[in-house]
Chain A
Amino acid sequence: DQQVKQNSPSLSVQEGRISILNCDYTNSMFDYFLWYKKYPAEGPTFLISISSIKDKNEDGRFTVFLNKSAKHLSLHIVPSQPGDSAVYFCAASAQKAGNNRKLIWGLGTSLAVNP
């Protein structure tokens, strides 16, 4: 049962335009969300995160929006650049007993930014 869902396996946008990557989750206990970017044959690189006490977090060209009532978050990249072409993973975590946290990962969305 996929608790973190990225329903679009791929996305193609034109250079300079906005890229919007979406992520839905089912577990209402999730209170921390992250986006990672991954190039082929490399490990994921942390991009941006958001706590459930916020609904927006911005870092340069990257903005993450969180809609808790809809259990939905999105990553906006503006403007998109060819170097942004990669697989983007959404991940979420919740506090468990004993202060342990575990990341639950989506399946990823492959973004292609065309020159």
Chain B
Amino acid sequence: DGGITQSPKYLFRKEGQNVTLSCEQNLNHDAMYWYRQDPGQGLRLIYYSQIVNDFQKGDIAEGYSVSREKKESFPLTVTSAQKNPTAFYLCASSRRGGVVSNQPQHFGDGTRLSIL
């Protein structure tokens, strides 16, 4: 049963603490993405990766970091530099994100991060 798994579903962070959100996919997709959704807003792209060991900043990368050491995994770290981290975080994957194939993105069920 292929899909994208995000964990945990809910996460609480203390002030000044870094936290890491997990995203794993078994769809054999090359590209992976992290989005943030705030109430009443659309999805905003944080980081994306088209291939292993490579990633690019999205529109709101400040205060976040990622790694892509394995094709299946694209963890997102919310650092203490992110001053407003409370949001719903969504991970997605797709086949090659290039122009050759306009492949739709498949999403996980998200992680809701809150500040204690």
Output the residue of B43, B58, B97 with the most chain A CB within 10 A: B43
Q: Taking chain A's interface residues, is the majority helix, strand, or loop, or is none over half, making it mixed?
A: strand
- Taking the complex as formed, is B74 at the interface, i.e. its CB lies under 8 A from any CB of chain A? no
Residues of A within 8 A of B105 (CB): 46, 103
Residues of B within 8 A of A89 (CB): 42-43
Minimum CB distance partner of A39 in chain B = B109
Residues of A within 8 A of B112 (CB): 41
Q: How many residues of B contact A (CB 8 A)?
A: 28
Q: How many A-B residue pairs have CB under 8 A?
A: 56
The reply to whether B104 and A34 form a contact with Cβ atoms under 8 Å apart is yes
* Distance of A93 Cα from B98 Cα, bound (Å): 11
Residues of A within 8 A of B43 (CB): 44, 89, 103, 105
* Distance of A95 Cα from B100 Cα, bound (Å): 10
Nearest chain B CB to A113 CB, angstrom units: 21
* Distance of A46 Cα from B93 Cα, bound (Å): 12
Q: How many residues of A contact B (CB 8 A)?
A: 23
Residues of B within 8 A of A106 (CB): 42
Minimum CB distance partner of A98 in chain B = B98
With A32-B102, A43-B109, A106-B42 known, 13 other A-B pairs at CB within 8 A are A4-B42, A41-B112, A42-B109, A43-B92, A43-B110, A44-B43, A44-B107, A46-B104, A46-B105, A99-B100, A100-B98, A105-B42, A108-B42
B-binding residues in A (CB < 8 A): 4, 32, 34, 41-46, 49, 51, 89, 93, 95, 99-103, 105-108
